[in-house]
Amino acid sequence: MEFPSKLIENAVGELSKLPGVGKKTALRLALHLLKAEADTTATLAEALAKMRFEIRYCDTCHNISDTPECTICANKLRDHSTVCVVSDIRDVIAIENTGQYKGTYHVLGGVISPIEGVGPSDLQIDSLVARMGAPESEVKEVILAISPTMEGDTTAFFLSRKLRDFEGVHISTIARGIPMGGELEYADEITLGRSIVERQRQAR
């Protein structure tokens, strides 16, 4: 694609690095911004930079947070005896939107993937073990809410091995209402909510 301007070419180049944004879509977005008030672009650019540079993660659960402790961990009304382990912040948002879950979370920050060079030490697994082993820990149940893909299953298997030494802590996996190979975040709210409620306790 030939561009009449380096400025627009750069912008299109950067936009098309975003997932799911092709050159044609990127051009569409760039031209939209050019047509709109200059403020629209300024506000967008600022919101993105501010988000990226000021974002914090919860010290306890590694969920996204504007403060050292996220609103879920800080909420005394939530059930702190239950920890729902997810791979991604997206999954926290998806589960919260079901309105079916009142416990806390632990965000791994990915799944074990030898192909992509992601090992257990790249994920928030040690911090989960430390959190459960802490003297003040109230954890009685860990729900493994990890997408049932190959990498997800590997991660869940690794975790259940790692966690089975915690006596008195039940390990569950979310009910397999979610189709095999499906991404958790694309599940509809009812299916996802149900799979939390009907979670299956894992044999030790």
Chain contacts with a copy of itself (rule: CB under 8 A): 1-8, 10-11, 13-15, 17-21, 25, 27-34, 38, 40-55, 63-66, 70-72, 88-90, 92-93, 96-97
Q: Work out the angle at residue 116's Cα, subtended by the Cα atoms of residues 111 and 121, and round it to the nearest 5 degrees.
A: 50
Q: Which of 131, 120, 134 is nearest to 87 (CA)?
A: 120
- Indicate if the alpha-carbon torsion angle 78, 83, 88, 91 is positive or negative: negative
Residues 61-80 that bind Zn ion (CB under 5 A): 61, 63, 70, 73
Residue among 3 and 158 whose Cβ is closer to a copy of itself: 3
Q: Which does 73 bind (CB under 5 to 8 A by kind): a copy of itself, Zn ion, none?
A: Zn ion
Residue count, binding to Zn ion (CB under 5 A):
6
Q: Closest separation between CB of residue 166 and a copy of itself, Å?
A: 26
Phi, psi at 79, each rounded to 5°:
-85, 105
- 171 interacts with Zn ion by CB under 5 A: no
Report the distance separating Cα 22 and Cα 123, nearest Å: 30
Q: Which two tokens stand for residue 13?
A: 């180049």
